[in-house]
Amino acid sequence: LRSGLHRQHGKQGAGGGGGGAKGIYAKLTIAVVGLLICTLSLLFSATIGGNRGSLEPSEINAEELWESAKSSGWRPSSAPRSDWPPPPRETNGYLRVRCNGGLNQQRSAICNAVLAARIMNATLVLPELDANSFWHDESGFQGIYDVEHFIQTLKYDVQIVESIPEIRKNGKTKKIKGYQLRPPRDAPIEWYTTVALKKMQEHGAIYLTPFSHRLAEEIDNPEYQRLRCRVNYHALRFKPNIMQLSESIVDKLRAQGHFMSIHLRFEMDMLAFA
């Protein structure tokens, strides 16, 4: 969508060059009239809507606002509810992924990586995170998430290693090089059990990059969906220093009232498209 927008702008700019002075005046007039209409309608709606505004402070019950939303009978559903054997001892190979995008995208990519490893009976290598080009943040998985908790929580789902092991061959040690593949966007499960699995068995390891939105969201298998929930809501836990910071924010909110302003760092493209 974004690149599409850019393209359209580009076309308009290029196409409108032939109008000459007359054309410019016509365009300026249209622009001025447009601006006037916008300003007037804004003023108008401001006077009309002025009284209606938001709720008076006295009408808001802050205690109620901070209560948990009612679940209407829904309950968390991340534990397996049918036969879910532990991962087989024998692995089909190593799965390396490079997550990209914003923090949320990378988090959901991690959930997909775990599921992909499960589907392929592969050993997952701790996912690589994007060193964000704007924030210059190179924390990596180990710097953000609790690795031991991640591996422990998922031990009945997938085998996970922190790094790809070295192999000894003719007295030399070397790392298995993952065969690099670019998964299709929202790839179906079949892509993992055919194309990707074949390359994994050939090379011992595959390296999927980029790896955001590379596994379909809608999968007709509740156990697979639950596994993604287990990763997101149970296995991925921030490191103690990050938890401490968030706890101190919550403590402050509890002690000093319900509202606090936080300066979130915006990414350049978020500002441009906001």
Which residues, other chains included, contact 138 with Cβ-Cβ below 8 Å and sequence gap of 6+? Answer: 131
- Residue 31, burial from CB neighbour count under 10 angstroms (0-12, 13-18, 19+): exposed
| Residue (of 76, 70, 75) closest to 230 by Cα position | 76
CB of 114 to ligand NAG, least distance (A): 15
Backbone angles phi, psi at 268, to 5 degrees: -55, -45
**CB of 115 or CB of 129, closer to ligand NAG:** 115
Among 197, 200, 208, 227, binds ligand NAG (CB under 6 A): 197
Q: Does 115 bind ligand NAG (CB under 6 A)?
A: no
Q: What is the largest CA-CA distance in the chain?
A: 83
- Neighbour-count burial for 123-148, b at 16+ CB within 10 Å, e otherwise: bbbbbbbbebeeeeeeeebeebbbbe
Q: Does 92 bind ligand NAG (CB under 6 A)?
A: yes
Q: Does 206 bind ligand NAG (CB under 6 A)?
A: no
Q: Does 144 bind ligand NAG (CB under 6 A)?
A: no
CB of 85 to ligand NAG, least distance (A): 6
Among 91, 100, 106, 121, binds ligand NAG (CB under 6 A): 121
Q: Does 124 bind ligand NAG (CB under 6 A)?
A: no
CA distance 89 to 74: 36
CB of 228 to ligand NAG, least distance (A): 18
| Residue (of 60, 124, 55) closest to 87 by Cα position | 124
CB of 181 to ligand NAG, least distance (A): 16
CB of 204 to ligand NAG, least distance (A): 15
Q: Does 88 bind ligand NAG (CB under 6 A)?
A: yes
Among 109, 111, 113, 120, binds ligand NAG (CB under 6 A): 120
Q: Are 127 and 110 in contact (CB under 8 A)?
A: yes
Q: Is 222 helix (H, G, I), strand (E, B) or coil?
A: helix
CB of 88 to ligand NAG, least distance (A): 4
Q: Which residues bind ligand NAG (CB under 6 A)?
A: 88, 92, 120-121, 193, 197
